Every structure is written in structure tokens, then in C-alpha cells.
Amino acid sequence: MTHRTRPLLGALLLGLIAVPAAAQRAPSGPAGPADPRALREGVRAYRASHEAEIVRELTDFLSIPNVASDESNIRRNAQALVAMLGRRGVTARRMKDIFEAFRAAIPGVTIRTTVLVGFPGESEAHLQNLLAFIEDVGFDRLGVFTYSLEDGTPAATMADQVPPELMAERARIVQDAQDRMVWERQKNLYGVVQTVLVDGRSEDPAFPWEGRLAGQAPEIDGVVYLRDLSLTPGRFARVRIVEVEGYELVGESAD
């Protein structure tokens, strides 16, 4: 089995699989699936509102049965990048409180983020603070990317540019720390019956099918390899997790 998790591009963003109803319609139009312009309007409106209201409304919205897990919502809304909390002066403590509010409102919710390392002026102390925050929050999925110097930007002329090799090393340290924490939690899935969406033929020839749990994003996260030949692609199946290897799982039919 191969580890298929890849870094996600973005910085200090909370990725969600559904958006509030206000972001699914143009300001004066009827409710319905969002087009890109309407989605941008909704996101801008939510950014302009108080972050406490964002958290409350999102947790209420995502607590509605089938909203967070319904595949049609996932495909229609993709990942709504709802709040750039770092620009609001939100403390690490407040951010942790927000994540805890999501988890309390939606048991089993998957929270993912991406982080940037190597911004000019970044010190070893900054790296250690980031590692402590990641461990404290316990993100379910996390990707890391390195700062890229772009001519004409203010950061390009800042002092204390971080050497590329040091950026790469710090990115590896962060990802390794995240992987160790997640892989340990993954072990808790052993023997547990889960609902899996059967995606199709497995890329691993040892298994006929592969699928995903609700918290596994397609083409990004690990998968659940499935042993039962009778499963049908595009359908949900109840499977018992019988092997855990990093982000990859193996399941057998529980019916």
C-alpha cells in the first residue's frame, strides 16, 4: 500500500466540505447551487461579519443531518474557504476553541488545514510554536508548503530570508510530526465498522476495489482498500477495518 496524502496549497485556511446557505445564492437571487461569482459574494459577506457569528452559524449549518456528509453537497460546494482567521488577530487559543466547537457540534467531523513555513523572518522559535499548536489542536489532515519568493511583493525585500534548504527541512519536520499523530489515531479504527463510498477499481492489484470514508478527500487523502468482490462502485458499503497502515486502510464487508 502506498501513502497517497499530498500537501494542499493554501495558507492558514480552514477547509470545509459545505458552505452556509447564505453563500449558496446570489444576494438577491433564489436559493440554489452556487456559481463561482455567487460563492465569492457569500464568502466575502461572511468574512465581513463577526468571526463568532461565523463559527456559530457554520456549526449550526453543518450539524444538520446529511449536510456535512452528503456527497452531492461535497461535489456542489467543493471546499469553501470560509475564514482567514489569521488576518483577524485571532489567537491560537481562540482558534483551538473554534475547532473544539466544531467537534462538539459535529461528532466525527474531519478538520483539515494547510500551513506555510519559511516566510522571511521565521525563526526556530516560530517553528516550535507551530509544532506545539498542531499537536494541541490535533488536525485530522494537514498539508505543508514552503514560502516562494515573488518579485514585486513586500515579502521579497524583507530581511532574514529563509534559505530554501532550511524551508524544506522545516516542512518535512512539520509533516512528519503531523503524520505521527494521525497515524497513531488511525489505529483506533482497527476493528470498527465504517460506511465507505466505493469509488471504483483499486490502484493496488491486491484489492478489487477502493473507497473512501467521509473524511477522506478524493485524490488527496489515503483510501480504504476493499476485499469484497461483490461491492458496487458509486454505492455505500458497511465495512470493518481490518488493517491500518498510515493513512491507508483495508476493509472487509460487515454485512
Query: How confident is the model over 2-23, as pLDDT tens digits?
Result: 444 433 323 333 444 332 333 3
Cα 147 from Cα 229, distance rounded (Å)? 45
- Kindly state whether residues 180 and 195 are assigned to the same domain: no
User: Domain range holding 241?
Assistant: 190-253
10 Å CB burial of residue 141 (0-12, 13-18, 19+) is buried
Domain count, the chain: 2
Does 2 map to a domain?
Answer: no
Q: Which residue has the cell 458509486?
A: 234
- Kindly state whether residues 124 and 138 are assigned to the same domain: yes
Does 137 map to a domain?
Answer: yes
pTM: 0.65
Q: What is the mean pLDDT of residues 117-131?
A: 92
Check which CATH number belongs to the domain holding 245 and give it: 2.40.50.140
Does 172 map to a domain?
Answer: yes
Q: What is the mean pLDDT of residues 31-41?
A: 50
Does 8 map to a domain?
Answer: no
- Kindly state whether residues 89 and 119 are assigned to the same domain: yes
Residue 25 backbone dihedrals phi, psi, to 5 degrees: -150, 155
- Kindly state whether residues 151 and 194 are assigned to the same domain: no
pLDDT of 112 reads: 87
Greater confidence, 64 or 183? 183
Does 139 map to a domain?
Answer: yes
- Kindly state whether residues 135 and 183 are assigned to the same domain: yes
Residues 145-202: tens digit of each pLDDT:
999 999 998 888 888 999 999 999 999 999 999 999 999 989 999 999 999 999 999 9
Please report which confidence band the pLDDT of residue 55 belongs to, taking 50, 70 and 90 as the band edges. low
